[in-house]
Structure 1
């Protein structure tokens, strides 16, 4: 941390999931599929590596991406912004996201992006359990994502627009 700017509000989180004993292929194996950039939005949305397919809903690179899509769609559908990208940052072993980012690319109409990030956390349960429940991710729906992709089809629960009113109420 030498040379890093900090103050008393800095919280350093080291291995919040506890003792790390098992790693590599023994701990994180499964099916692989198209890379996240292919399954998501190509180069428009920053992603990590790996793939959505073959992961259960407790894996936040999959379920978190679905929830981020749901949040962004609700922000745009509510008229709060014309464009929106939502970023959720998690640490292993911690239920609440470490950071929630909203970027409206200057198209926000009612409040600034940081204000929207606070509203999002009031309108949506962003914990892994909350995401799984909210999007009903324990149902056998994943085979359909392998053909036609994960986004843009209204029959997936992360495409629903049912939080627009709550978002508007949270902002005002």
Structure 2
């Protein structure tokens, strides 16, 4: 059995958002883009994941979500090695192939779910994020996107249509014995 505990952070499209280099200014080494419903049930968003840098293994991953107007609603950057399902010695050909496979499947429909079915038991939500989370929970059409890094961390992203803010949830997979 695997259970997950989460912590919250928020990111908005306002001026106080974290600044991240625009991945579109550089030709990516590897990329995946999808257009699908996420922040809006009428207009589709663009979700993209790009690897930039010297190589697939040593590069950085740029994860971006833009709404139908082309406005960014979520951005994050992390080392491509975090997409590997192991720690330790790097085997270049094998690990590059693993990262590419993860990127190819990054936006699989199985990683998108309705917030209403999310297990809230292990969520620890700071007071500063509670208002955003409540608006997302009250929206029966709200969707969250889930992806894993470092083989033991799950990240979930959801969008509040009312507040026009994105909330990012990170948690560790906790492996337990038993059913």
TM-score, scaled relative to structure 1: 0.26
Hey, which of these two has a bigger chunk of helix by percent?
A: 1
Structure with larger RCO (C-alpha < 8 A, sep 6+): 2
